[in-house]
Amino acid sequence: MSWIPFWPDTASNTAVTVNTLAIGLFAVSAFICLVVYALILLFAFRYRRGGSADRSHRVKKSWHWEIGWTSATLIAFLVLFVWGAGAYLWLYQPPANAGDEIYVVGKQWMWKVEHPGGQREIDALHVPLGRPIRLVLTSQDVIHSFFIPDFRIKHDVLPGQYETMWFTATKKGEFRIECTQFCGTQHAEMGGWVTVMDPADYQRWLNDQGAEPDLARQGEALFRQLGCSGCHGANSTVHAPSLAGIYGKPVQLEGGRSEIVDDRYIHDCIMLPRTERVAGYPPIMPTFAGQIGEEDVLKLVAYIKSLGNPASAAR
Amino acid sequence: MTVTTFIPAKSTAVKNYLTAGFGIRSWLLTTDHKRIGLMFFGSVTFFFFIGGAAATLIRLDLLDPAGRLVQPDMYNRLFTMHGVVMVWFFLIPSIPTTLGNFFLPLMIGAKDLAFPRLNLLSWYLFNASGILAVYFLLVGGVDTGWTFYTPLSSQYATGHVLPAAMAVFVNGFSSILTGLNFIVTTHRLRAPGMTWFRLPLFVWAIYATSLVMVLATPVLAMTLALMSMERFLGIGLFDPAIGGDPLLFQHLFWFYSHPAVYIMILPAMGVVSEVIACYARKPVFGYRGMAYALMSIAVIGFFVWGHHMFVTGMSLYSGVVFSFMSFIVAVPSAIKVFNWIATLHKGWITFDAPMLYALGFVGLFTTGGVTGLVVATLAADVHLHDTYFVIAHFHFIMVGGTVSAYFAGLHYWWPKITGRLYPEMWARLAAILTFTGFNFTFFPQFILGYLGMPRRYHAYPPEFQVWNVLSSAGASILAIAYILPLAYLGWSLLYGKRAGSNPWHATGLEWMTSSPPPEHNFVRTPVVTSAPYAYPDPETLADEPAGRRPQA
């Protein structure tokens, strides 16, 4: 009966990994339940009051039984633990060859997607078949969770944090996106569809999305428009750190700590500029929290990231 | 256990606790743990049906994939109400404050709890907070879920979050006072000869639960206070927009709320140990192992909270540690299941209602336990987290487990509490309906979960309808199974046969006194000389014809 679903579609490499693990876990669970129910029924019948089964020579010393089943369950559990933990570290760490980052911003109650080429979608995500895709997720307001059941992956989407997830789609078609972290009134409506396309179709789709400049270019425009360039620009007289080539480098902070300049650090410098101030610079940068949305922050991050790396270029 | 220097109370000579005083003052100002236990019984029953009404509406709404019965906001308020009421006003207090209150002193041979007035205060705090919570949940509603996750609860939710959090805050003090009372009572008021390893497992379970109550509940109070400070005063603690950390709230919340799960299940384990021993007419197999298992669950239960946060972006390696600890805490639970089964081996088993509930508990708890391992497995949880699989898992533990055990205990001790016998056949029917209805309600949710149906959805993709309809149909059987005892237990109060002091021929000090017990429990303080569950061995019953039930 096809109208009674028992198992979700398996449409990515991550889904295969989780399926194998889940089948293993379900088999172990079913076996344990079966043994428990069978023993209860067997003993309940055999040793019912009025039954004539032999009750002599009861087991009195229990300790070797206790040690026996304690070690047996412990060993079985450890095997499951190691299997699950190994798969988890693989699931949640994007491989080095994962392609361009696609940004996903959750807000009450929609998913906004920005491709590196500047293409934008709402409640939809187009990806090519067979290529590792890396998503960078953040939230505009409350905590959401980005879940694609047919890929067996989800990740919470937090305000003020960049989380990454990845997958390689292995099946063409449309697959549901759901929000799994309760986020208010229309939580159940917050969703959409992943469309998996042939790489050639995907390229065509990207090209058909209108001539928006890419994310970094959009970020550059914002950088001027918001007045960032007034202080951080090359000819500025204001005492503000230069942003050229800082991405991925450690920076010395006020108070002695040092941080690597990554998406999260740049985000926080824009939204909460007083908390992780670069050593030697006065606390004069205004916060942009409440003035620009997470999508704009992502564009600025993309721009700063694109500002090259003169040190390595010189080498 | 063997009891010496004990003279049974003559029922005519000594007033029992119910006839010791009449009128409303004799109840509302009582310090008798038995009366307070009964008053708690009234309160938690009331809240159980409030939470149950919310569940009924939820299941009705989910009959239809479009969820047209109630508006989305209403649905969100319903599941918040269901969660808040069932967790804090039913499951956590259920067994400890009713059966624990009533039987802890009786089982250790004490006249009352160590602090009778605190016990009464606990009941007042409980009702005040409960009525406050239900009032605010009804009039304006709270739409955060029982988990109050920030920044939704502190910055975005529109309902009466603060008063509801305040109610839960006050409720926590009731929990702490009850826990404190039980700990001191167990340490100080045991009858002569009642050493630690002569304590019935129910007492061990209540003791372990009380430790968790006293140590974990203050953290909930702090967490809710901090959340309220952010919501009310705008202090940036959890909302990153004002410099907070949203995961900090989850760490604090689950530091309480995971141990809270053990507050719910440990007393249930205690009840089931008493019942299985009585109806298998055997000592509990591996008694010491069972006591150690209870204590180790209580302790290790404090180190697993992070397994609620595997997909939050918490460090991957702390995820690995929390997964490992979650597997470790499952070991003592597994030991308990094996020991209950071994207790059945070579017993003289009868299938009275409490035993049916208890055997149902073992089966459902096992199912809930192994599926708990599934979600404790990191990579599987990435898919299953916040889906109906998790809903099914924890309902197997809390409803299949705790509620079944609560009913087992209620039936088992009903004759002692009321002095009356309930109609056995009706009770067996209710036990069987509970087990059947429960499986029909919650097993389909495992399938829904793996299919990817998220929790807290008032509407869902139409392909999931079959399983939701099956689940709702099962819930209607479950509803009948829960209402039925109200009828026949109520009936038994008036028309039930007189029970006598020990209708089940059970061991344990509570059965050595009359039913209902006299005001101060025992006419003379009992002296204990042997281990619990001294049901006779078949070897010592050589004269008995084979197959006959040994009479205690």
Q: Distance from first CA to last CA of chain A, Å, rounded?
A: 66
**Residue B383 belongs to some domain of the structure:** yes
- The answer to the question of residue B354 being in a domain is yes
Distance between CA B156 and CA B459 in Å, rounded?
A: 22
Beta bridge partners of A252: A258
- Is residue B1 situated within a structural domain? no
- State how far the Cα of B455 lies from the Cα of B62, in Å rounded to an integer: 11
Report residue A139 as tokens: 């939230």
Rounded CA gap, A155 and B476, in Å? 35
Q: List all residues 6 or more positions away from A34 whose beta carbon is below 8 Å from its beta carbon.
A: none
A86 contact residues in B (CB cutoff 8 A):
379
Alpha-carbon gap, residue A117 to A96, rounded angstroms? 20
Number of structural domains found in chain B: 1
pLDDT bracket for residue A58 (50, 70, 90): confident
Query: For residues B99 and B202, what is the distance between their CA atoms, to the nearest angstrom?
Result: 10
Residue B25 lies in a domain: no
Cβ atoms of B269 and B336 within 8 Å: the answer is yes
- In the three-class reduction of DSSP (H, G, I as helix; E, B as strand; rest coil), residue A286 is classed as coil
Is A309 a residue whose pLDDT tops 80?
A: no
The stretch A214-230 carries a mean pLDDT of 88
Lowest-confidence segment of A50-54, A211-215, A277-281, B14-18 by average pLDDT? A211-215
Contact A153 B383 (CB under 8 A): yes
Residue B501 inside a domain? The answer is yes
Residue A278 to chain B, least CA–CA distance (Å): 18
Is residue B10 a part of any domain in this protein?
Answer: no
- What's the CA gap between B524 and B522, in Å, rounded? 5
DSSP run (H or E) holding A40? helix A13-46
CB-based contact, B63 to chain A, within 8 Å: no
In angstroms, rounded to a whole number, what is the distance separating the alpha carbons of residues B326 and A86?
A: 16
Q: How many helices (H) does chain A have, and how many strands (E)?
A: 8, 12
Q: Name the least confident of A18-22, A259-263, B97-101.
A: A259-263
H or E element at residue A295: helix A294-305
- pLDDT at position B447 is 97
The confidence score (pLDDT) of residue B502 equals 93
> Can you give the pLDDT of all 552 residues of chain B as single tens digits?
555 444 454 445 568 999 988 899 999 999 999 999 999 999 999 999 999 999 999 999 999 999 899 999 999 999 999 999 999 999 999 999 999 999 999 999 999 999 999 999 999 999 999 999 999 988 888 889 999 998 898 888 888 899 999 999 999 999 999 999 999 999 999 999 999 999 999 999 999 999 999 999 999 999 999 999 998 898 989 988 888 899 999 999 999 999 999 999 999 999 999 999 999 999 999 999 999 999 999 999 999 999 999 999 999 999 999 999 999 999 999 999 999 999 999 999 999 999 999 999 999 999 999 999 999 999 999 999 999 999 999 999 999 999 999 999 999 999 999 999 999 999 999 999 999 999 999 999 999 999 999 999 999 999 999 999 999 999 999 999 999 999 999 999 999 999 999 999 999 999 999 989 999 999 889 999 989 999 887 666 544 444 444 443
CATH 1.10.760.10, chain A: domain bounds: 215-314
CATH architecture of the domain formed by A9-36+64-212: Sandwich (2.60)
> Cβ contacts (< 8 Å) between A158 and chain B: which residues?
240, 246-247, 312-313
Residue A79 vs residue A51, higher pLDDT: A79
Cβ contact B168:B220 at 8 Å: yes
**pLDDT at position B548, please?**
43
Q: What is the pLDDT of residue B541?
A: 56
| Whole-angstrom distance, CA of residue A171 vs CA of residue A198 | 9
Element of type H or E holding B82? helix B72-84
Q: Best mutation site among B337, B355, B378, B549 for testing chain A: the one with the most A CBs within 10 Å?
A: B378
Select from B377, B289, B391, B304 the least CA-distant residue to B335: B289
pLDDT exceeds 70 at position A31: yes
B528: helix, strand or coil: strand
CB contact under 8 A, B246 and A93: no
Which residues have C-beta within 8 Å of that of residue B472, sequence separation ≥ 6?
Answer: B59, B60, B62, B63, B441
Which of A44, A69, A149 is the closest to B349 by Cβ?
Answer: A44
CB contact under 8 A, B241 and A89: no
Residue B293 to chain A, least CA–CA distance (Å) = 11
For residue B96, what are its two tokens?
Answer: 């400890």
Domain A215-314 has CATH 1.10.760.10: yes
Q: Cβ–Cβ of A143/B149 closer than 8 Å?
A: yes
The whole-angstrom separation of Cα A302 and Cα A217 is: 8
Q: CATH no. for residue B65?
A: 1.20.210.10
Establish if B6 belongs to a structural domain.
no
Among A17-21, A229-233, B114-118, B337-341, the range scoring the smallest mean pLDDT is A229-233
Q: In one letter, which amino acid is A198? A: D
**pLDDT confidence bin for A2, thresholds 50/70/90:** low
**Three-state secondary structure string covering B104-130:** HHHHHCCCCCCCHHHHHHHHHHHHHHH
Contacts of A99 (CB under 8 A, 6+ apart): A131, A132, A133, A134
Which of A33, A52, A180 has its CB closest to that of B386? A180
Which residues, other chains included, contact B486 with Cβ-Cβ below 8 Å and sequence gap of 6+? B45
In A, residues 232-271, which contact B (CB 8 Å cutoff)?
Answer: 271
Contact between B379 and A154 (Cβ < 8 Å) = no
Between positions 70 and 99 of A, the ones with CB within 8 A of B are 70, 73-74, 77-78, 80-81, 83-93
Contact of B477 with B434, CB cutoff 8 Å: no
Question: Which of B381, B404, B382, B378 has the alpha carbon at shortest distance from B393?
Answer: B381
Range of the domain at B152: 30-541
